[in-house]
Structure 1
Amino acid sequence: MWGFAVPVPVAFTELAGLSRQERLEQLRRRMAAVPARGESVTEHVPLGEEHDSRGVLDVPPALADLLPRRGLSRGSVVTLSGADSLLLGLLASTTGAGAHAVVIGRPRLGLLAAAEMGAQLGRIAVIPDPGPDPVEVAAVLLDGMDVVVLSLGGNSVNPSRARAVIARARSKGSILIVADGHWSGAELRLDARVIGYDGLGRGTGRVRSMRLVVQAQGRAFGPATARLDLQSVDGRIEWVPEVGAEPAERPGNTAAIPALPAAVSL
């Protein structure tokens, strides 16, 4: 159920070994073949708010209560830490709603689980090796992709450079998701931790569900948390609230919640 790699159409070839100009030209040629940004993407505008032309991209329904707009706002930067299932779930929900995404610098990201969550693999491009400057590659791809996932491999990005990329994401209406590194100035920080499994040792020989605690915190709202199950239902992985768990803490509730890891800073 978990962690098996699955082949996906690779829209961008590896960029290592190319000159800077060659990398940029190849990225722009490939982006020209991607359908118009936001095609068929559902927008969610809360009652009473003005319509935002940039829209909001879907997240798994069980995570929606953690976020003020119940999704990922276009033009924003999100940092992720913890279990890969959270990233896979976001890829599934956004591409399942029609968005196009690219994953930079994660050659071993298993996408079978994303497909089982509903991801449209034909809308996910991968760049396993972006070359010496993955941040530049991400900045270029913000011009034409709905979602750009950037893995920093534990590295940090200079705050002044991070601000420039944030401004680019905002102006292009794209979402940048940063994982495995230090990035300042993100609007939203998400962390997922595995707290248990069901199925192993009960005669099944495989994991049937996985329990997670997911925490969200933003510049505009206080910590929020939810306990969730990832369950296999009729061949599909569903995100559901954990049985017996308290309802998700709503954004803005500043009650004491265990601090997020310091590995990814705002």
Structure 2
Amino acid sequence: MNQTSVRHGGIEGSAAVDLEGLNRSERVAALRSRMAALGSEQAPEVEVTPDEGVVDVPSELASVLPGGGLPRRQVMSLSNSPALAVEIISHVTSAGGHVAVVGWPELLLAQVVEQGDLSRVVAVPDPGADPWSITGVLVEGMDVVFHHGPPVELSPARARPILARVRGGQAALVTVGARLPGTVLSMDANVVRYHGIGRGTGRIRGVDIAVRTEAKGMRPKSTTITCGQPSKNPRPKLRAV
């Protein structure tokens, strides 16, 4: 089997043919080889996971998602919300799943160290001239793939091979900024409250994120998710008696 470079290789052609007829274990092995061809120290040790319909997410978010999780083999869009993305990454990796992040160099993963498993995250901050080719490979073996890019929707012709990879893999693909035709779910998230800070004191220990989801055939739903540590009850003030 030819080892095709993910960074510069296209989505069509020999890279796609290599995976035809392969079972899940063989696809995972091929994914390891392709990521290793990048020369990155973060080549994923991807394990074969159960073929479930959705990827488990925090319970507050699950309540506003059809099926209670991120649907595998489908494309979703997320507004530019690093806090929610990191919360999802932490939850998925802590449960043994694997997540990839393509083209989001400013995304801070410190929370994943504390609440998830950073060894299960594959980050490609600089995907080169053709980032979709990297995403097209990663969706075949990861559980969730975040693709961050300019706010441009690909044409149907350009998106067709990428969507074929998504349907043939096992990942839930979440686009941030960039969009693909056929997106089945949209998530809009905004920070509405900070925890841990007061007037001139403290530091941010957590945030509340208002999330609104829209999906085909489903009425919009909203919820609020607390990421990090919520504010503790203030200590009683001392009084002179």
Q: Is the 8 A contact 1:81 1:191 kept in 2?
A: yes
> Which residue of 163, 171, 180 maps to 1:183?
180
The structure-2 alpha-carbon separation of the partners of 1:174 and 1:208, relative to structure 1 and needing over 3 Å to count, comes to closer
For residues 66-101 of structure 1, give each alpha carbon's deviation from its aligned partner in whole angstroms, at most 9, with x where no partner exists. 012111121111111032111111111211221111
Q: Please name the residue that 2:27 is paired with.
A: none
Q: Please name the residue that 1:109 is paired with.
A: 107
For residues 136-176 of structure 1, give each alpha carbon's deviation from its aligned partner in whole angstroms, at most 9, with x where no partner exists. 11112222222221111333322333343223212212211
Give yes or no for the alignment of 1:124 onto 2:121: yes
Moved over 4 A (4+): 24-27
Tell me, which stretches of 5 or more residues in structure 2 are unaligned? Answer: 16-29, 38-42, 232-241
Q: Please name the residue that 2:204 is paired with.
A: 207
Give yes or no for the alignment of 1:20 onto 2:9: yes
Partner-residue secondary structure (3-state), 1:207: strand
The structure-2 alpha-carbon separation of the partners of 1:112 and 1:29, relative to structure 1 and needing over 3 Å to count, comes to closer
Question: Within 5 Å, which residues of 2 pair with 1:166-181?
Answer: 166-181=163-178
Q: Is the 8 A contact 2:35 2:44 kept in 1?
A: yes
Q: Please name the residue that 1:133 is paired with.
A: 130
Q: Is the 8 A contact 2:137 2:165 kept in 1?
A: no
TM-score by length of 2: 0.73
Partner-residue secondary structure (3-state), 2:197: coil
- State the shift of 1:14 in Å: 9.7
CA distance in 1, matches of 2:125, 2:87: 20
CA distance in 2, matches of 1:150, 1:189: 14
- State the shift of 1:29 in Å: 5.0
Aligned CA RMSD, in angstroms, stands at 2.8
CA distance in 2, matches of 1:151, 1:167: 19
The amino acid of 2:180's aligned partner reads W
Q: Please name the residue that 1:34 is paired with.
A: 45
Instruction: Calculate percent identity across the aligned residue pairs.
Output: 33
Between Structure 1 and Structure 2, the one with more helix by share is 2
For residues 177-200 of structure 1, give each alpha carbon's deviation from its aligned partner in whole angstroms, at most 9, with x where no partner exists. 111223321111111111222332
> Which residue of 85, 90, 93 maps to 1:92?
90
Question: Within 5 Å, which residues of 2 pair with 1:1-266?
Answer: 15=7, 19-20=8-9, 28-30=34-36, 34-38=45-49, 53-116=51-114, 118-202=115-199, 204-232=201-229
Q: Is the 8 A contact 1:34 1:144 kept in 2?
A: no
Q: Please name the residue that 2:40 is paired with.
A: none
CA distance in 2, matches of 1:33, 1:181: 24
Partner-residue secondary structure (3-state), 2:67: coil
Partner-residue secondary structure (3-state), 1:113: helix
Count of residues paired in the alignment: 203
Tell me, which stretches of 5 or more residues in structure 1 are unaligned? Answer: 1-12, 42-52, 238-266
The structure-2 alpha-carbon separation of the partners of 1:182 and 1:55, relative to structure 1 and needing over 3 Å to count, comes to closer
CA distance in 2, matches of 1:201, 1:29: 45
CA distance in 2, matches of 1:76, 1:96: 22
Report the structure number with the largest CA radius of gyration.
2
Q: Is the 8 A contact 1:27 1:140 kept in 2?
A: no
- State the shift of 1:225 in Å: 0.4
CA distance in 1, matches of 2:89, 2:171: 14
Q: Which deviates the most, 180-189 or 128-137?
A: 180-189
CA distance in 2, matches of 1:228, 1:174: 23
The amino acid of 1:100's aligned partner reads H
The structure-2 alpha-carbon separation of the partners of 1:27 and 1:160, relative to structure 1 and needing over 3 Å to count, comes to farther
- State the shift of 1:129 in Å: 0.9
